[in-house]
Structure 1
Amino acid sequence: MLSEDSLRTIQSGSEADLTKVLEAFNSENAQTFSFPNVTTDFKQNCVQTITGRLKGALSSKCQILCLQALRIYSREKERMEVLTSDDTLELLVKLSGLQYYAEEEGEGVTIQDGDQDVMVESQKCLCNLIFNSIVAQRYCSEKGCIVGLVQRLKTYGDPDLNYEIKFFDMRMLFLLTALPTCIQTRPKIRYELHGFTYLMEVLDLTLRAAEEKRTGLGDQDVDLCSEILKILFNLTVAVEKKSADEEEEAHFMRLVSVLRDLLMCTTISKDKQEELHSHTVNLLINIPVDFYEELLTPLNESDVRGVENKDVEYDGKNMEAIIVLIEFLSKRLDRPSKSLKESLTPILHCLCEACRHNRSIRKFCRTKILPPLREEVKRLPEEGDSLRNRLCKQLTSPVTEVKDLVAHFMFVLCKENVNRMVKYTGYGNCAGLLAQFGLLKLDQGNPKGDYSSDSEDTDTEEYSELKDQINPVTGRWEESKPDPMEGMSEEQKEHEAMKLVDAMDKLHRQGLIQPSRIGPDGRPEPVSHILELAESGGATAAKETDSD
């Protein structure tokens, strides 16, 4: 740790002595994240001494060592006030090359140049301070740092600009658009500073550079694109999905076109490709649904690149991007995840909205996910390795958000047709969705999506032969079974029926089931006694409760 003697050396010692002291401190505390044994006054004295020396004439090496020491101190979430004075923040913004100067005549900014390694170390300090301190967030939002960040986007085509400067610029911009204190910066960046346009241009520039090299996006390229996609997500998170002016429409059309290119591009690392697809899917969720059409291109204007399945044409359009999204869903279904919700809900939501509002996408997805049933009807819908089977497994997932989104997605693929949904999933698997929508009467409901009137429902010969023996509850073909009441007298049948009623009534009184009947709104409504089910014509349904 620094001592009083060390502080005197930092304050007035030679560069050689300064280097020796700071190298020892930085090495000793490389993995230190708090200083419980250091008083607030002493920590403040350390910070002031280091920043005081930084203001003087130092070599780049000494500047970097000073900034590394400040970065170590900035990791501690407590006592941030010792690092967030206007004087310290102004110095860090200046050393980051982000200081904003308004020109007296006309509009413009001058961004200070400097040693790029020094700039990177200063950016790292600012990232920590912005993350941990509301004071730093407000300062960087209000004192020109935001302007400097957006203006520097214009220089990203310069091959001499260090990648790390770009990355930490974007990390700072992400924090300044994500943290609750900085919400007001979103419209400023998007509209006043035109950051939306500049960020898209950087994505496009990165993609074009990779195409020219013909090597695919490198890991650094993916990391930079991912940060930009996260910023664009923040800038579009509150966008009105239904209306947009002409300028916004042009922006969204351009953005979705760029997102399509990101879905189609290759990356050197396969893991990085999935990361890129994940951020792309997250951003697509924020896009107004009218612009999903931009994911498709006329086949004759597009080059089919690297897709194993060359059958990408549907309705005269190129479905490569949709194939990528379906494959992304398939990978997420295959891979066990600690957080099923975070893993599956974005792609399910994205595909659900795309299919609900774009006829071509829905029809194509249906051919891939719900193809005509054949011999597989002899198995339960959730048994097997097809996409349909794996989605049906999630219909009984304990994660409510996943279960509901899968049900909604498959319902949309069925054009919100109840009978078709039961056909592909079994009544037992989709009963929760039908109850939620008030569709337990098996009527057609009121579809909310943009669906055509044609049925698209052609049964295969195999399905038609087995259709009459399919159990609608399980969704599986079952061999005919003998009637258990065959040969019984009417009195015996009535006796067996009353035994069943008594058993159900006992379970009801024990709180294990809640007998219900289907009400006028198509939703289950509880009954007070089991005999009420007989009075309503035998339309019975038992709703289970948690008995564990």
Structure 2
Amino acid sequence: MDLQQFLLLRLDSGNVSEIKNALMTFCEDNATSFSFPGYDKEKLDKLYALLFNILSTPTFSECQVDCLSCFKLLFRDSKYLDDVISQDKFNILVHTARLHNTQPTVCYSTLSTQDFDVMIEAEKALCNLIYNSKQVQQMCHFSQSSILQSIIYRLRTYSDPHLPYQVKLFDMKLLFLITAFCPDVRLHVKEEQHGVIYLIEILDLILKQATVTSGKQMQHLQIILDEEQVLLLAEVLKTLFNLLCKYSLSQPLDDDDPLSHRLVSFLRELLLCKGNKIDLLRTHVINLLTTVSPSSLEELGSNASDGSGSHKTDAIHNIVNYLHEEFQRRNVGNKSGLTNLENVDTILPVLLVLSEAARHHKTLRRLIRQLVLPARKDFSSRPEEGDSLLSHLTRCLSCGNTTLRDCCADLLFVLCKENPARLIKYTGYGNAAGMLAARGLLGCQNSGQYSSSSEESDTEEYIRVRDDINPITGVYEPPKSDPMIEMSEERKEYEAVQLVGMIDKLQKMGVVQACKLGEDGKPQPVEHILELRDQLPKPARKE
């Protein structure tokens, strides 16, 4: 008799002690298993039938937690799940997790530790089941199951001190999974169940329950989050993202939506928090910021324009610092670093949020510009060299990841008020040429509508060496003697003809493609190098 058959016999013995020992043995032996090749379809059917019988039989109540632990492990393997899990079996799990009633009147203070342990283990099993079974995902649709409404209702009871943290955490994990795998329910949760409002209230509740200490020099209070609070907040933020992700900064919610402004005000507070795993929290905060209306982003820099150095502007500082740290951590843009999407998935949302904040809010643009584009004083090295945030962004302008390249270019261009000449000053023409060509701005004309202000960036150091800066590399080069100063006119003409010949040869070999500037500001290929003469400046006529 094999081990699988022996387990089935023990579970079918009817002896509580024997069943409990068999369940515990199964859990210990398979704690790290994600597949069960020893169980064919027939054995799995028998195993699931026995486990569901144990779970739903009152005389086996002391075996419920171990039984649910077995389900949790078995649901890691998606094989046969759609075949063996019926609506009735799914309902048993939902009922065990106390998510079967859309208007429960339960008093949590009357529940025992055993009751909560069963609820938590049932929710863990449901998480694995929903993740791995498409059929069960369909069962979670609000028109077929009460699980969604029950979770939403329980959100309103999170202030109850008798409701354990683990129940809240796995409630949110379930809601996240359902809204992730069932897009059709998002609008229902958001509009009819008022899910966004309840989730924002949970953000408020957690912030109020967090530890508060005096900040630097007693200027403001500092919120300290423990690890449990951060993990719960992360699940709340992920779920909010699911509910709002159909919108984006390019297709935003109503700009006057007060809910969006209120949400961003809470996200600003979360950006200012300290504690364990705070980078995880900031990642989800920034992801969620990509879904709000651009007008509400002004909440990130509340009081930023009063000149008082309000600590509320620290939210922008923290976002910029987070971006710099992410570049450093992934070595993105370095010659030896990778620049594929696998490395930059947490960087792109930061770039998007900063770009939109700078594009729509003058005070935020000025603040971000001070942090990302400080007045340039050192012109002895190339803009892409070094470890500054600007250096990382400049390197990315020529990286192979087009999404990252375009996002970095957009941020820098907006911070330069869409002024090509100013962008070239910070990055060098060689780094900026690709973006300018794509946007038809090789003629260096301004493309944005920005208010004129005192945001000039010409330092004394720049003015002093401006005429000796190589516009292609952005580096100061000491004055050099003219190599043609002693050439005769015949020699100059000869060298020019040689140069044209070499360029024409390279073009015919496909090494380079000579272009001229079109009317749309974009480069247009030329058939022969001599066509470039048409765009040379004509000498002034002598009267």
Q: TM-score, normalised by structure 2?
A: 0.89
**CA distance in 1: counterparts of 2:498 and 2:473, whole angstroms:** 25
> 1:99 touches 1:111 (CA, 8 Å); kept in 2?
no
**CA distance in 1: counterparts of 2:426 and 2:126, whole angstroms:** 54
Which residue number corresponds to residue 526 of structure 1?
Answer: 525
Which residue number corresponds to residue 542 of structure 1?
Answer: none
**CA distance in 1: counterparts of 2:164 and 2:370, whole angstroms:** 47
Spell out the pairing of 1:46-195 with structure 2 (5 A cutoff). Answer: 46-58=47-59, 60-101=61-102, 108-110=103-105, 115-141=115-141, 142-179=144-181, 182-195=182-195
Q: Percent identity?
A: 38
What SS class does the counterpart of residue 442 from structure 2 fall into?
coil
Instruction: Say whether 1:466 aligns with 2:468.
Output: no
Spell out the pairing of 1:223-262 with structure 2 (5 A cutoff). Answer: 223-239=231-247, 241=249, 244=253, 249-262=257-270
Distance change (3 Å), C-alpha of 1:243 and 1:470 = closer
Deviation, structure 1 residue 111: 6.0
Deviation, structure 1 residue 205: 0.9
Describe the superposition over 1:225-261 as per-residue Cα deviations: whole angstroms up to 9, x where unpaired: 0111111111111126566569x71211110011011
Describe the superposition over 1:483-540 as per-residue Cα deviations: whole angstroms up to 9, x where unpaired: 122211222112111211221122112211111111110001111222222344289x
Which residue number corresponds to residue 104 of structure 1?
Answer: none
Deviating more after overlay: 410-419 vs 461-470: 461-470
- Aligned match for 1:347, one of 326, 337, 350: 350
What SS class does the counterpart of residue 257 from structure 2 fall into?
helix
What SS class does the counterpart of residue 253 from structure 1 fall into?
helix
> 2:426 touches 2:474 (CA, 8 Å); kept in 1?
yes
> 2:305 touches 2:363 (CA, 8 Å); kept in 1?
no
**CA distance in 2: counterparts of 1:159 and 1:215, whole angstroms:** 21
Describe the superposition over 1:359-392 as per-residue Cα deviations: whole angstroms up to 9, x where unpaired: 0000111122222222x02321122333323322
Spell out the pairing of 1:416-431 with structure 2 (5 A cutoff). Answer: 416-431=418-433
Spell out the pairing of 1:357-396 with structure 2 (5 A cutoff). Answer: 357-374=360-377, 376-396=378-398
**CA distance in 2: counterparts of 1:60 and 1:215, whole angstroms:** 43
Structure 1: runs of 5+ lacking an equivalent:
102-107, 302-311, 540-548
Deviation, structure 1 residue 393: 2.3
> 2:55 touches 2:61 (CA, 8 Å); kept in 1?
no
Spell out the pairing of 1:198-237 with structure 2 (5 A cutoff). Answer: 198-211=198-211, 216-237=224-245
Spell out the pairing of 1:509-524 with structure 2 (5 A cutoff). Answer: 509-524=508-523
Deviation, structure 1 residue 215: 7.5
> 1:147 touches 1:193 (CA, 8 Å); kept in 2?
yes
Distance change (3 Å), C-alpha of 1:245 and 1:393 = closer
Describe the superposition over 1:180-231 as per-residue Cα deviations: whole angstroms up to 9, x where unpaired: xx11110111111111111111111111111358871111111110111111
Describe the superposition over 1:269-323 as per-residue Cα deviations: whole angstroms up to 9, x where unpaired: 2xx111111110010011110101112233799xxxxxxxxxx846x89411111
Q: CA RMSD in A?
A: 2.4
Deviation, structure 1 residue 430: 0.5
Describe the superposition over 1:131-155 as per-residue Cα deviations: whole angstroms up to 9, x where unpaired: 1111111112231100011111112
Describe the superposition over 1:57-97 as per-residue Cα deviations: whole angstroms up to 9, x where unpaired: 14554101111112222111111134420111000001111
Describe the superposition over 1:441-496 as per-residue Cα deviations: whole angstroms up to 9, x where unpaired: 1122x216xx2122521522222111111111111211111212221122211211
Distance change (3 Å), C-alpha of 1:388 and 1:39 = closer
- Aligned match for 1:277, one of 272, 282, 295: 282
Deviation, structure 1 residue 416: 0.3
Distance change (3 Å), C-alpha of 1:111 and 1:42 = farther
Which residue number corresponds to residue 326 of structure 2?
Answer: 332
Describe the superposition over 1:325-372 as per-residue Cα deviations: whole angstroms up to 9, x where unpaired: 111112112212663321321111110110001100001111222222
**CA distance in 1: counterparts of 2:305 and 2:374, whole angstroms:** 26
> 2:248 touches 2:291 (CA, 8 Å); kept in 1?
no
Which residue number corresponds to residue 305 of structure 1?
Answer: none
Alignment-mate amino acid for residue 349 of structure 2: P
What SS class does the counterpart of residue 345 from structure 2 fall into?
helix
Alignment-mate amino acid for residue 388 of structure 1: L
**CA distance in 2: counterparts of 1:372 and 1:537, whole angstroms:** 34
Describe the superposition over 1:17-48 as per-residue Cα deviations: whole angstroms up to 9, x where unpaired: 11111111221112222222322121011101
Alignment-mate amino acid for residue 238 of structure 2: K
Deviation, structure 1 residue 415: 0.4
Deviation, structure 1 residue 2: 5.3
**CA distance in 1: counterparts of 2:14 and 2:408, whole angstroms:** 67
Deviating more after overlay: 400-409 vs 292-301: 292-301
**CA distance in 1: counterparts of 2:328 and 2:286, whole angstroms:** 18
Deviating more after overlay: 108-117 vs 160-169: 108-117
**CA distance in 2: counterparts of 1:262 and 1:422, whole angstroms:** 36
**CA distance in 2: counterparts of 1:6 and 1:240, whole angstroms:** 52
Report the number of matched residues: 512
Which residue number corresponds to residue 217 of structure 2?
Answer: none
**CA distance in 1: counterparts of 2:239 and 2:456, whole angstroms:** 43
Instruction: Say whether 1:411 aligns with 2:413.
Output: yes
Which residue number corresponds to residue 436 of structure 2?
Answer: 434
**CA distance in 2: counterparts of 1:538 and 1:503, whole angstroms:** 23
What SS class does the counterpart of residue 517 from structure 1 fall into?
strand
Describe the superposition over 1:85-136 as per-residue Cα deviations: whole angstroms up to 9, x where unpaired: 01110000011111125xxxxxx44569761111111111111111111111
**CA distance in 2: counterparts of 1:111 and 1:205, whole angstroms:** 21
What SS class does the counterpart of residue 524 from structure 2 fall into?
strand
Which residue number corresponds to residue 319 of structure 1?
Answer: 313
What SS class does the counterpart of residue 472 from structure 2 fall into?
coil
